Structure 1
Amino acid sequence: MPESPRPSQEANEPLPVRCTTSRPRSDVCVAHLAGELDMATVPVVADHLRRETAMPPAELLLDLSGVTHLAAAGLALIVAAMNNDRDIHGRLHLVGVSGNRPVERALQVTGLLAVVDVHDDLQALLDALR
């Protein structure tokens, strides 16, 4: 059954995505994403990642544990980050994939799950990167 179109985003209505960033070390940028990653929200997230990685970190960690919808545009953003495209810098690592059905399923059916660096635990990944 075809998906019904989403209503258009009102100018003063917030987008259904949040992106916050932390720097546990100067060489590590952790972006915590929550909400929907689709064609309406990805430009905002991409701009945020560009700003946060302008001084290129060695490592870019995307915490996807709060992502509730991962559309093609979100997958394209992950690929861009993996390839250091769109002025997004850092070696890409993903957390919050395992057990997060919308994210894990989208990565699996597109074949990306086999090529991205996925970790189950953010703190364990940070410890491993030391």
Structure 2
Amino acid sequence: MSSEATGKPTLDVASGVSRNAILIRLEGELDVDALPVLREHLRRVWELPPKKFLILDLGEVSFCDSMGMNELVEILHRCEARDTRLLLGGVQGVMARVLSITGLRHAFEVFAHLDDALRTAVAAPP
């Protein structure tokens, strides 16, 4: 059942930290109701010392509205201000379509598979 029907966010957020990257996995609907959940998680991430990469795993995102896309753009700007490269991994299906339709596909570093985004981060010099 969507968050629109229940009025409750249907987004799960989890993260991990490696040598030069923070990985955030999103699962569910990235919509206006989910933004408080994502922003609270990101608040803790922004308090950490900056890493070279922030990887968003979007492979399990089943829906993304304009507010969700707006939040991704805000994350991109925040990363740029911290000299952190934002990589979007698992971009297929819904997210690939939304990025294409909005014209934002080329604003982000996009990888169809999360493993490719992870390899990019691991291969980068420290």
Alignment-derived partner of residue 4 in structure 2: 6
Q: Tell me how far 1:88 sits from its aligned partner.
A: 8.4
**What secondary structure is seen at the aligned counterpart in 2 of 1:92?**
strand
Distance 1:89 1:17 in 2: 27
**TM-score relative to the length of structure 2:** 0.81
Question: Structure 2, unaligned stretches of length 5 or more?
Answer: none
The unaligned stretches of length 5 or more in structure 1 are: none
Counterpart residue number, 2:98: 106
Asked if structure 2 preserves the Cα contact closer than 8 Å seen for 1:37 and 1:69, the reply is: yes
Does 2:62 correspond to 1:68? Answer: yes
Counterpart-to-counterpart distance in 2, 1:73 and 1:50: 18
Amino acid at match of 2:44: R
* Number of residues of Structure 1 aligned to a counterpart in Structure 2: 118
Residues 87 and 117, structure 2, Cα contact 8 Å, conserved in 1: no
Report the TM-score, using the length of structure 1 for normalisation: 0.79
Once the two structures are superposed, what CA deviation does each residue of 1:38-77 show, in whole Å capped at 9, x if it has no partner? 0000221022012122122221110101111011111011
Q: By how many angstroms is 1:89 displaced?
A: 7.9
Q: For residues 6 and 24 of structure 1, what CA distance do their matches in structure 2 show?
A: 35
Q: Does residue 51 in structure 1 map to residue 49 in structure 2? A: no
Q: Which amino acid aligns with 1:28?
A: A
Q: Shift in Å at residue 7 of structure 1?
A: 2.2
Whether the aligned pair in 1 keeps the contact of 2:24 and 2:56 (CA below 8 Å) is yes
Question: Could you tell me how far apart the structure 1 residues matched to 2:65 and 2:38 are?
Answer: 13
Which structure exhibits the higher relative contact order, with contacts defined as CA atoms closer than 8 Å and separated by 6 or more residues? 2
Q: Which residue of 1 aligns with 2:33?
A: 40
1:102-128 deviations in Å (ceiling 9; x for gaps): 100000011110111112324322323
- Say what the alpha-carbon RMSD is for the aligned residues: 2.3
SS of residue matched to 2:47: coil
Query: CA-to-partner distance for each residue in 1:14-59, whole Å, 9 max, x for gaps?
Result: x31111001121x311101110000000221022012122122221
